[in-house]
Structure formats: structure tokens, C-alpha cells
């Protein structure tokens, strides 16, 4: 990478090329006339792509190239985007415009940027058909009736796995990257496993050294595009994530724009990508979230019954001493994810069992007050993390405040004396959060699994 480039002053972000051979996808990007940034995705033991799926594979690979580019585009956020393969049809351009705008909204907020009106993927003129566009519904590929279930190491994906196992569906636990904790969780499921590797372009780290913009990207969107390619390559007719309905709730509003840390886990993104796969890749390739009808509290209630996973799961994003023998090796006890999972599980587990999982009582530690206040949206906004809504955190805390075994813990007692008096008790019931919503995109073949969750 040339040391003369100033990432924040670049004028054009270019999608240079993408290719695939022997299970390795190469995705190339560049700023202005600079050196190529080449990312590689490795699909292990990938079979040859059947001729009948070649067109679908090309479409999925092209989308992966476009979606994964978000990791690089954000380094400079230049005002122009160029595509070596030419302009996109409206549906593809709209998917990408929405993804880059909303998926980078937190990044923009934290860096004091406004990306509205800046992101515009080139589109073909009206009435002109883009290359690779079907113009309607893509043909069905007669994909094998089996499911890719992404594993993240936390409670949600494990609830989804067990729900799918309960109906006898053929499924594979899949993850991207080399996390030992995720691998241990995947092994514990008893399902076949698929571990895909993503290697970021080394030049990205050099751009960071040269002053690139940095921050949160919609990584679930990238992983979703990777799994769409995997579904075509290996032969799966569904990709079932474990994104709950609170993922659609914004973290905050900034200058008239909703900022959602979890936008690529939202129903809005799920709908955009699911529809796009039906029209551009395969009519019989479904992309959904199995947990979409459920709140975080409903999911933690379901997870509380899955005792075989208690000693391997972790939702903590900060603790990297993974696979150690003690809870402290899997839970830092300080971050918003630790706070929320502890609070959400507390109404549904015996107190000693919960303390054994975490190795400590987070609600009896006064130094954690600010973290729990943010979850409750008390004097702060919801954290930029994958946590539930403020209202369901308040419902969980209220439930604990009514139970003798929790009432004397420092932060529960503080909630009762300082915060509860400012709330409407009628809005704090736990039960409404346990009811599923009818709004989801789960295909008919998997809908029986919903009964195992509720």
C-alpha cells in the first residue's frame, strides 16, 4: 500500500473485480488509482458448482463482492462509487444504498459524518436491464431441503439450533472466522459443522495506520452474503439466522436519522436481502431469522431450559480468554452484553445457577450502575450493542425487584428506591414480552420449529 494515499481525501471507491476458484473467492477493491485491496473468502472442501447453479452462483458472488465492500468503503467514504461490471438494476442498487446508509449509520454518528445523499450505487437507466438481472423471479434450483444455521457462540443461535433439531430438519452449524468459543458451541450442538474463513485485505490495516475512518460495520450483512454463496455451492435451500425482533429497534435518533447498531439484523434488511435472493439467485433459496417473532426475554426463557450449553456459551464481546475452565474466562462482567444477558436470564433461572454461569453477581456490584442504567434507558441511551429494548430490560428488572432473593442486591434495591418511582408500573409486566409477534419471514418448511421456542 502506497504511503502517499490519504484515505479521507480519496474521491472514488472502485469495485475492481471478483473471482472464484477451488473454494476461494477473491474480492478486489481500490480507492482512486491506488493499489488493489484483495479480500479472500475460503469455503472448505467446496464441491464444483453444478452447471445448473452457475448463473445463481455468479449472482450470489457478485452480491458478496458488493456487500463485503462496506468494510473498505468506510475507510474513506469518498463521494463516488465505480463498478467495473457496470451499473446495477434498481433492486440491487436499492439494497446496497440502504445497506451502506443504515448499516454505517452508527459509524457515521460516532465520526460526525452525514452519509445521506453521499452513497449512490450506479444504476441502469429506466427500462434497461442490468447484466445478470432476471427482471422477475429467479428460477428454482431444486436445492436440497436443508438449513444453514449461523452460530455466534451466544444464546440466540443455540435456541434456533435446538428448535430446528426438534422438528428433525437436516441442518448444518456454520460460522465465519476462527473463534474457538464458537467452534466449541457448534460442536456441542451435535450438528455437522461448516467453518468458512474470511481474510480481510492486509491493505485495510495500512489504511487505518494512514488515518482512515474507522468504526462499526454491518458484519451480519457480510456474513449473510457469504452464506448465500455457501448455500448455492454446497446445496441448502434455507439460511436461518437467530435475530430477534428487538434488533429492528433503533439505538437512537441523530439529526433526523434512526441509528440502529443492529440494522443488518433487522427485519428491514432481512426483507431486502430475502426478496433479492428470490429474484436474483434462486426462487427456492430462503433467507430468514427463525427468532424474529420473539423478544430477547422470550428467547432467554427458552435458553434457560438448554442446560447442556451453560458451560460453553458466551455473548460477551470483550473477553478473549476463551475456552478457559472458569466463567470469568467467558464473561468479562463489565460490558453491555454481559449486563443484558445476566439481567434477561435472571427472571428464568434459579439465582445460584445464574451466578454459577457468570462467576459473580453483576446486580450486587454498585460500580456497574451506569451500565445497567443504559440498558434501562435511564439517564442514557441504549448501548451500541446487540441488546434488547429498554422497555424489556425495565420489565426484567421490575420482575426481580418483586422477588425476595434479588431485592437486597445493590442495583435491584437502587432500582426500587430511585428508578421505579419514576415509572408506570402498568408498563412493566414481563408477560407481554413473552408473546410472539406474527411478523416474520420463516418459510413454511421451518415454521413448526417456532412452536419449540414459544
Whichever domain contains 276, its CATH number is: 3.40.50
What per-residue confidence (pLDDT) applies to 248? 81
What per-residue confidence (pLDDT) applies to 126? 55
97 sits in which H/E element? helix 90-103
Provide the grid cell at 356: 454459577
Q: pLDDT category, 315, cuts 50, 70, 90?
A: confident
Give residues with Cβ within 8 angstroms of 205, minimum separation 6: none
| Sign of the CA dihedral with 381 first, then 385, 389, and 391 last | negative
What per-residue confidence (pLDDT) applies to 323? 45
CA-atom Rg of the chain in angstroms: 22
Yes or no: say if 72 and 201 are a contact pair by the CB < 8 Å rule. Answer: yes
What does the pLDDT average to over 430-437? 95
Please give the span between the terminal C-alpha atoms of the chain, in angstroms, as a whole number: 52
For residues 38 and 151, membership in a common domain is answered with yes
For residues 262 and 362, membership in a common domain is answered with no
d(CA 398, CA 1): 55
For the entire predicted model, the pTM comes to: 0.93
For residues 333 and 236, membership in a common domain is answered with no
**Structural domain contains residue 175:** yes
**Structural domain contains residue 100:** yes
d(CA 71, CA 85): 20
1: pLDDT strictly greater than 70 = no
What does the pLDDT average to over 224-236? 98
On the CB side of 40, how many CA atoms lie within 13 Å of its CA?
10
Which range, of 117-131, 177-191, 205-219, averages the lowest pLDDT?
A: 117-131
Last residue of a domain, one of 266, 289, 312: 289
**Structural domain contains residue 406:** yes
For residues 118 and 258, membership in a common domain is answered with yes
**Structural domain contains residue 231:** yes
| Sign of the CA dihedral with 203 first, then 206, 211, and 215 last | positive
For residues 272 and 390, membership in a common domain is answered with no
**Structural domain contains residue 370:** yes
For residues 75 and 218, membership in a common domain is answered with yes
Domain count for the chain, please give it.
2
**Residue 78 neighbours by CB distance under 10 Å:** 19
For residues 87 and 221, membership in a common domain is answered with yes
What does the pLDDT average to over 273-295? 98
Phi (first) and psi of residue 283, to 5 degrees: -65, -20
In three-state form (DSSP H/G/I as H, E/B as E, the rest C), the secondary structure along the chain is: CCCCCCHHHCCEEEEEEEEEECCEEEEEEEECCCCCEEEEEECCCCCCCCHHHHHHHHHHHHHHHHHHCHHHHCCCCCCEEEECCCCECHHHHHHHHHHHHHHCHHHHHHHCCCCCCCCCCCECCCCCCCCCCCCCCCCCCCCCCCEEEECCCCHHHHHHHHHHHHCCCCEEEEEECCCHHHHHHHHHHCCCEEEEEEECCHHHHHHHHCCCCCCCCCHHHHHHHHHHHHHHHHHCCEEEECCCHHHHCCCEEECCEEECCCHHHCHHHHHHHHHHHHHHCCCCCEEEECCCCCCHHHHHHHHCCCHHHCCCCCCCCCCCCCCCCCHHHCCCCCCHHHHHHHHHHHHHCCHHHHHHHHCCCHHHCHHHHHHHHHHCCCCCCCCCCCCCCHHHHHHHHHHHHCCHHHHCCHHHHHHHHHHHHHCCHHHCCCHHHHCCCCCCCCCHHHHHHHHHCC
On the CB side of 84, how many CA atoms lie within 13 Å of its CA?
15
**Structural domain contains residue 72:** yes
For residues 105 and 159, membership in a common domain is answered with yes
For residues 282 and 328, membership in a common domain is answered with no
Q: What is the pLDDT of residues 404-425, one digit of tens each?
A: 999 999 999 999 999 999 999 9
Provide the grid cell at 150: 449461523
What per-residue confidence (pLDDT) applies to 364? 97
For residues 81 and 174, membership in a common domain is answered with yes
Last residue of a domain, one of 265, 289, 313: 289
**Structural domain contains residue 164:** yes
Provide the grid cell at 168: 428433525
Domain that holds residue 65: 10-124+141-289
Q: pLDDT category, 322, cuts 50, 70, 90?
A: very low
**Structural domain contains residue 346:** yes
For residues 276 and 350, membership in a common domain is answered with no
For residues 280 and 356, membership in a common domain is answered with no
Q: What is the pLDDT of residues 141-173, one digit of tens each?
A: 999 999 999 999 899 999 999 999 999 999 999
Amino acid at each position: 500500500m502506497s504511503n502517499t494515499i490519504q484515505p479521507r481525501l480519496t474521491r472514488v471507491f472502485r469495485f475492481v473485480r471478483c473471482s472464484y476458484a477451488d473454494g476461494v473467492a477473491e474480492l478486489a477493491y481500490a480507492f482512486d488509482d491506488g493499489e488493489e485491496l484483495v479480500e479472500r473468502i475460503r469455503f472448505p472442501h467446496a464441491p464444483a458448482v453444478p452447471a445448473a447453479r452457475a448463473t445463481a452462483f455468479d449472482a450470489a458472488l457478485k452480491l458478496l463482492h458488493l456487500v463485503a465492500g462496506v468494510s473498505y468503503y468506510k475507510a474513506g467514504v469518498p463521494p463516488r462509487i465505480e463498478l467495473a461490471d457496470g451499473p446495477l438494476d434498481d433492486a440491487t442498487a436499492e439494497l446496497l444504498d440502504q445497506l451502506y446508509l443504515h448499516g454505517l449509520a452508527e459509524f457515521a454518528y460516532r465520526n460526525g459524518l452525514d452519509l445521506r445523499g453521499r452513497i449512490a450505487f450506479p444504476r441502469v437507466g429506466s427500462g434497461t436491464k442490468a447484466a445478470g438481472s432476471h427482471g422477475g423471479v429467479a428460477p428454482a434450483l431444486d436445492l436440497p431441503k436443508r438449513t444453514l444455521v449461523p452460530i455466534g457462540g451466544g444464546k440466540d443461535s443455540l435456541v434456533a439450533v435446538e428448535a430446528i433439531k426438534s422438528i428433525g430438519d437436516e441442518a448444518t452449524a456454520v460460522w465465519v472466522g476462527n473463534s474457538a468459543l464458537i467452534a466449541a458451541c457448534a460442536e456441542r450442538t451435535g450438528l455437522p459443522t461448516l467453518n468458512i474463513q474470511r481474510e480481510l485485505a492486509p491493505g485495510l490495516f495500512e489504511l487505518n495506520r494512514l488515518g482512515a475512518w474507522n468504526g462499526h460495520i454491518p458484519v451480519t450483512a457480510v456474513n449473510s452474503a457469504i452464506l448465500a454463496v455457501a448455500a448455492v455451492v454446497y446445496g441448502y435451500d434455507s439460511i436461518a439466522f437467530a435475530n430477534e425482533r428487538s434488533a429492528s429497534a433503533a439505538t437512537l435518533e441523530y439529526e433526523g436519522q434512526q441509528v440502529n447498531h443492529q440494522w443488518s439484523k433487522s427485519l428491514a434488511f432481512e426483507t431486502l436481502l430475502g426478496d433479492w435472493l428470490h429474484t436474483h439467485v434462486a426462487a427456492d433459496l430462503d433467507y430468514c431469522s427463525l427468532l424474529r417473532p420473539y423478544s430477547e426475554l422470550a428467547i432467554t426463557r427458552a435458553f434457560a431450559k438448554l442446560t447442556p450449553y451453560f458451560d460453553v456459551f458466551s455473548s460477551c464481546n470483550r473477553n478473549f480468554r476463551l475456552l478457559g475452565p472458569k466463567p470469568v474466562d467467558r464473561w468479562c462482567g463489565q460490558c453491555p452484553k454481559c449486563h443484558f444477558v445476566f439481567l434477561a436470564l435472571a427472571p428464568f433461572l434459579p439465582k445460584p445457577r445464574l451466578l454459577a454461569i457468570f462467576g459473580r453477581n453483576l446486580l450486587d456490584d454498585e460500580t456497574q450502575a451506569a451500565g445497567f442504567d443504559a440498558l434501562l434507558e435511564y439517564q442514557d441511551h441504549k448501548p451500541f450493542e446487540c441488546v434488547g429494548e429498554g422497555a424489556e430490560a425495565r420489565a426484567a428488572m421490575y420482575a426481580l425487584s418483586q422477588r425476595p432473593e434479588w431485592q437486597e442486591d445493590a442495583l435491584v434495591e437502587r432500582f426500587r428506591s430511585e428508578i421505579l418511582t419514576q415509572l408506570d408500573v402498568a408498563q412493566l409486566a414481563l408477560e407481554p414480552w413473552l408473546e410472539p409477534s406474527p411478523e416474520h419471514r420463516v418459510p413454511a418448511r421451518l415454521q413448526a420449529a417456532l412452536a419449540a421456542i414459544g
